[in-house]
Amino acid sequence: MKTLSKLGLAFCACSLSLPALAQFDDSFVFDDSMFDDSSLFETADSQPGHFRFRLSHQSVAHINRHTRAAVGGGTETRARGLENNRSALNIRYQNPFREGWLLQASGQLRGYLPGDYEYNNPTREDWEWRLNELFVQRSGQRNSLAFGRQTIVWGETIGNSVLDVINTTEYRDLTIIDIEDARLNQWLLVWDHFSDHGTWSSFVNLYPEFDPLPVDNSPLFPGSPLRLPHYHRDKPLFELGTRWSRSFTGSDVAVMAARLYENGLRFTPPTDGSNRAIAHINDYMLLGLSANRAIDRLLLTLDMSYSQGVLVDSLTNAFPTLNKGDLLGISAGFEYGISATRLISVGLRFERLQNIERGAAERINDLRLDTRGDLLVRYSHSIMNEEVMLSATFQGQLDGEAGLLNLAADYRINDDWELRSQIILTRADPASTLYFLDQDIRLGLTLSYSF
């Protein structure tokens, strides 16, 4: 069980969700924000078209060679070489086809080339596609109704909110740290009602999904001694929630409640002698409060959550089991505009388990038994008339077990071409679940063409 625990896998009754540091994704080549363009909502005579396309090629290499701990014990030599070598096509369609109506869709096509860790993956045939968005929205004076694949974001602390748990996420590697890029859309019915006393926003999800299983031999998943299955749906599942918010001079407040399923599947070892783990799902209740306050160039944010009935990792007779408990969470941070071209943001996140139903459990084996905290810091600086954007992102656990620094430079060659370069540095304690990332250095380049 020691090896399984070091891998951070789910066989000690833990989920596939890595620690807060591991909020990474390869989706720079799939960044939906690159399509944001208010001109799409202008009149039909003035807008350039409903479709947007972006072609990208990304190469990331592990550039240092060192000895580190190996899966199963001992040491291994980390070799240099390509890690990502892939091309992608993003397509977005936005059409306000009638007054008060909007149709929006987006999708991705990705191809893996020699040197990529997903090349020759028999389950993907060296390429894959994904439908991100597909929804229709009807907006009136007081009400808005949207149905289809879409995203709901609760919370104010960008990238580090304890309330941003509705949509599932996918983390594959270390080329992007932003949780905003890792979110996956789900089939939702969303109703917004606007009044003089605040805004009500409610949703229903009739087909809740779960975080995708990790890709074998990816940088964030060194391998599993057991086979991880998908959850077999044997009964209807649903999620629903509502949120009330109101704006005041210089601030916003919101309260919310939802009945959700935990996004990450939980796994326990098989009981039939096979190598197929047992997948578990769990529904729970979420209550939340969020607020922000703007003071000149400073924006303060606060999120608080109370989750009743979440799964807790434990051991009974030395065998992994799942108990339930309540989870308290707090996120707080700020964004500060240093100047018109420089911005810094900081976010802190803390979580702690309470009221654990121990039952026959002899030991609680969940890291959240003690208060767990992590830090996210972002800094950006635009230079050369906004043709070059320099940025730095640091994310780390407050106990010092792991940390990541992502340094990037984006150069807009012209209106169509853009080049991004990255240096990614990681450090992890040998006893942490991310021990296999210790002392890694990665260098990446992405060339993109938009039309």
114-155 pLDDT, tens per residue? 999 999 887 778 999 999 999 999 999 999 999 999 999 999
**Are 257 and 239 spatial neighbours (Cβ–Cβ below 8 Å)?**
no
Between these two residues, 177 and 5, which has the higher pLDDT value? 177
| CA 309 – CA 324 distance, rounded (Å) | 5
Beta bridge partners of 372: 351
Do residues 308 and 276 touch, judged by C-beta distance below 8 A? no
Domain count for the chain? 1
pLDDT at 248: 94
* 260 in any annotated domain: yes
Stretch among 92-96, 104-108, 266-270, 300-304 having the lowest mean pLDDT: 266-270
The arithmetic mean of pLDDT across residues 43-67, rounded, is 80
**Buried-state track 368-399, b at ≥16 Cβ within 10 A, e below 16:** bbeebbbbbbbebebeeeeeebebebbbbbee
The pLDDT of residue 23 is 44
Q: Which of 196-205, 314-323, 385-394 has the lowest mean pLDDT?
A: 314-323
pLDDT given at position 314: 82
Residue 89, domain member (yes or no): no
Q: Cα–Cα distances in Å, from 165 out to 68, 160, 249? A: 34, 11, 28
Question: Token match 């599942």: residue?
Answer: 237
> pLDDT-based confidence at 48, cuts 50/70/90?
low
Compute the C-alpha angle 26/237/14, nearest 5°: 55
In this structure, are residues 253 and 290 in contact, taking their beta carbons and an 8 Å threshold? yes
The helix (run of H) or strand (run of E) holding residue 108 is strand 101-112
- The verdict on residue 119 lying in a domain is yes
In 3D space, the residue among 143, 135, 58, 123 whose CA is nearest the CA of residue 93 turns out to be 135
Enumerate the H helices of 290-435 as residue ranges. none
Determine, yes or no, domain membership for 208.
yes
| pLDDT confidence bin for 305, thresholds 50/70/90 | very high
- When pLDDT is cut at 50, 70 and 90, the band that residue 69 belongs to is low
Answer yes or no: is pLDDT of 109 > 50: yes
Q: What is the pLDDT of residues 206-264, one digit of tens each?
A: 999 999 988 877 888 877 778 888 898 888 999 999 999 999 999 999 999 999 999 99
Q: Is residue 263 classed as helix, strand or coil in its secondary structure?
A: coil
Confidence of residue 22 (pLDDT cuts 50, 70, 90): very low
Name the residue range of residue 185's domain: 2-47+94-377
Name the nearest CA neighbour of 159 among 31, 13, 332, 322.
Answer: 332
pLDDT the model gives residue 214:
82
Is 130 among the domain residues? yes
Q: What is the mean pLDDT of residues 287-295?
A: 98
Q: Is the pLDDT of residue 342 over 80?
A: yes
**204 is a domain residue:** yes
Is residue 445 included in any domain, yes or no?
Answer: no
Q: For all residues of the chain together, what is the average pLDDT? A: 86
The pLDDT score that the predictor gives to residue 366 is: 83
Residue 114 maps to which CATH number?
2.40.160
* pTM summary value: 0.85
Indicate whether 52 belongs to any domain.
no
